[in-house]
Amino acid sequence: MEITKIAVIGAGNMGHQIALCAALSGFQVKCTDTNTEILDKAIRFADDYLQERVSKGKLSQEAADQARNNIAFVPTVEAAAADADLVIEAVIENLAIKRKLFAQLDQICPAHTILATNSSYIVSSKIADATTRADKVCNMHFFNPALVMKLVEVVQGPHVSAETVELLMEAAKKMGKTPVLLHKEIYGFLVNRFLQATRQEALKLLDMGVASYEDIDTAVKNGLGYPMGPFQLLDLTGIDLAYHVSMERYRESGDPADRPSPTVVEKFTKGEWGKKVGKGFYDYE
């Protein structure tokens, strides 16, 4: 089997860039979202981004037109996934919602279709039994911003076939990514385990009043050589995502240490979710 058609479900923070990245790499892509505002924003982003790449001299007009022709933004999951070889789910980090979506995809998609989740933390074995094709349900985890970040984590749960893994590794490479394979399911995979450790320490130092978030970012950037500080990165990946991920973890473990930090709860409640809404720790207006 060869993957040529990709459906991306969820056009938010990650989905819109995963879809565009796939279109730029020659896949036929259909992207959808239940929220029409988010879908409209994804369409505008695709048009603006491609034009900007042309203006910057990074892409020929012909390649930009080809990429735009390769991607369609459609209103329903059915329209996106009915003929896909690979579905990449990039919806909210909520297990019940993902299970419901995968059960629906299982009904809609042809028998050969691989159903991948871009979840940051939820392992695919928690979703696979909502379908009749557990061997084709797998984690394929991209990083934000997905058009730029090279890494993709493919996680081989015990139910995932070798063929599925191979096809996902190939698809990631064709998208210009550098995939790594995890032979076991583990919470946070590889990168988010490191990210979580840095982030928790940063939030703890802030909550203790040791330093401002600006100075913590400055320290991490200039002392460790990271491209962004932990608070800038929280703004980029979304404080709402950090909140949902911690809540999901806390619901599972019941361990108070897994609850979101007071600062994250405060920002989440105020709607200060980061760059995408114009304000997080920093102001983007």
List active site positions: 120, 141, 153, 192
Give me the least distance between CB of 228 and ligand 3HC, in Å please: 4
Whether 242 and 264 have beta carbons less than 8 Å apart is answered as yes
The span of 177-185, 203-211, 225-233, 266-274 binding ligand 3HC (CB under 6 A) equals: 225-233
Residue 224 interacts with ligand 3HC (CB under 6 A): yes or no:
no
Give me the least distance between CB of 169 and ligand 3HC, in Å please: 19
Whether 191 and 153 have beta carbons less than 8 Å apart is answered as yes
Neighbours of 2 (CB within 10 A): 9
For residue 199, what are the CA distances in angstroms to 118, 202, 228?
A: 21, 5, 12
Residue 186 interacts with ligand 3HC (CB under 6 A): yes or no:
no
Q: Kindly tell me the sign of the dihedral angle through the C-alpha atoms of 189, 124, 19, 27.
A: positive
Could you tell me which of 76, 123, 82 has the C-alpha nearest to residue 106?
82
Residue 117 interacts with ligand 3HC (CB under 6 A): yes or no:
no
Backbone φ and ψ for 14, nearest 5 degrees, come out as -100, -45
Residue 195 interacts with ligand 3HC (CB under 6 A): yes or no:
yes
| Among 94, 144, 161, 200, interactor with ligand 3HC by CB under 6 A | 144
| Among 145, 262, 271, 278, interactor with ligand 3HC by CB under 6 A | 145
Which spans of this chain sit near ligand 3HC (rule: CB under 6 A)? 56, 58, 120, 143-145, 147-149, 192, 195, 227-228, 233, 237
